Amino acid sequence: MGAITRPVAKLGDAAIGTVSFIGALGILIGLTFAASPRLVLQKRGRRLAWRNLWFQAHRVGVKSIGVVALVTLSIGVILALQIVPILEGYGVPDQIATIIAIAFFRELGPLVGAIVLTGFAGASIAAEIGTMAVNEELKALRSHAISPVRFLVVPRVLAATVMTVCLAVLSSVMGILGGLLATLSITDLRRAEYLELTFAAVDGFDIMTGLVKAAVFGMLIGAMACHLGLAVRGGASGVGSATTRTVVLSIVALTIVDLGFTAVFYLLEL
């Protein structure tokens, strides 16, 4: 009997833990939204708040530009090298511009930028806040009537959200540039024709789709990193565990959320 009930009990514990984690993450996101206007619009300490927000944006987004640009440029080249021979078999090699433009503006730009940001900044945020939790700095903030959510979480979530949108635009442009460079090298398509096909393929809905995804991805990365950092227990091992979980869970969550967005936007286009 125990051999039957034990797997069921483990499955139930996993389900309860997942629901509890999602609920706690949702509460933190709600508290962040509630505290955001006060942080941005407050009169007292406004300069310090904006300086903190700018510092987080620089750390989260500006320092990620080189990595994101290199990765997406490479992906654009790879896609062109893989797809152009197939399109040539059908006699439409010029359609590579359409494929790459739609792929990057709708999917790859926001998703790749967010995944790179997860490894580059999400883990750093979780480790930083986790270290503060271990050193009891969070208790010190509360003892001075300073909310950790308003002081620590809000700037990081806002910075991650804004910079993920910016990185999504950069990712899309660099991916298209990579596709352009590879296509010009292996086909007779001219640069003007490639760019003309790219602009013709992308409309406002494609751009809006990518930007909405990027904003949600950034909010999710920042909130999850902060949540796991605030929940750290057990010293250095707890910080390491939170860092690893941030990267793994963020990538899984980004993929699932992206799937949901893609399904919804697909139905809207019907």
* 49 neighbors 152 (Cβ within 8 angstroms): no
Measured distance CA(191)–CA(71) in Å, rounded: 22
* 223 neighbors 194 (Cβ within 8 angstroms): no
pLDDT-wise least confident of 2-6, 84-88, 158-162: 2-6
For the chain, which residues make up each domain, given as ranges? 2-269
Mean pLDDT value of segment 123-147: 82
Mean pLDDT value of segment 211-238: 87
* 116 neighbors 170 (Cβ within 8 angstroms): no
* 56 neighbors 156 (Cβ within 8 angstroms): yes
- Is the pLDDT assigned to residue 267 strictly greater than 90? no
- N-term to C-term CA, the chain: 51
Query: How far is residue 7 from each of residues 10, 17, 18, measured CA to CA in Å?
Result: 5, 15, 16
- Is the pLDDT assigned to residue 38 strictly greater than 70? no
pLDDT of residue 91: 82
> Across all residues in the chain, what is the average pLDDT?
84
- pLDDT band of residue 175 (cuts 50, 70, 90) is very high
- Is the pLDDT assigned to residue 188 strictly greater than 60? yes
pLDDT higher for 100 or 63? 100
Give the orientation angle of helix 96-103 with respect to helix 191-201, to 10 degrees: 50
Query: Is pTM beyond 0.85 here?
Result: yes
* 110 neighbors 65 (Cβ within 8 angstroms): no
